[in-house]
Structure 1
Amino acid sequence: MSYHFEWDPVKAETNLRKHGVSFEEATTVFGDPLAMNMPDPDHSIDEERFVLLGTSHRLRLLVVAYAERGTRTRLISAREATRRERRQYEQGWS
């Protein structure tokens, strides 16, 4: 599957400072075949949002919030997974 990513450059810089994760790295999580993709109803007020939990090309387990906008995937935030999220990823969909 091919993705066309976009993001707000100011938000990307803020995210990097706050969480230590670049949006460029976050895009690589979409290539993780074991990634877990979940709806994010708590943050889907103006648009439907999703959360992707997966491994980046730097082998870091990341949580990436995003929205689909037509043919584009707009990144909203990215951070390292918590212990609980890490366990969830390791256990898979069970």
Structure 2
Amino acid sequence: MADFDPAKEALNVAKHGISLARWVDLEIRAIVRDDRFDYGEPRFRAYGHIDGIAYCLVFTVRDQRYRPISLRRAHAKEMKRYAP
């Protein structure tokens, strides 16, 4: 199961042109823990494709539920590094 913040959803659509709800369509090729900063909770980045386009999903897990934070097109460098 998953849920997301409606305000984050609106920001994601405005900024990246895709709904956080599309995370379920992500054909995941790799998941890496994002420990670049102390976010106060474990954070992960998943790389894969939606409709043949490479995407990066940032998410956490709260109360045994996936919580998408951001969904955007992945950079070619990211896909080469994490999901060749």
How would you bin the TM-score normalised by the shorter chain?
0.7 to 0.9
CA RMSD of superposed structures (Å): 1.4
Aligned length: 83
Partner in structure 2 of residue 71 of structure 1: 64
Gaps of 5+ in 1: none
Give the share of equivalent positions with the same residue, in percent.
25
By percentage of residues, which structure has more strand? 2
Unaligned runs of 5+ in 2: none
| 1: CA distance, partners of 2:53 / 2:75 | 11
**In terms of mean alpha carbon deviation, does 63-72 or 20-29 score higher?**
20-29
Match of residue 5, structure 2, among 3, 8, 15 = 8
Give TM-score scaled by structure 2 length: 0.87
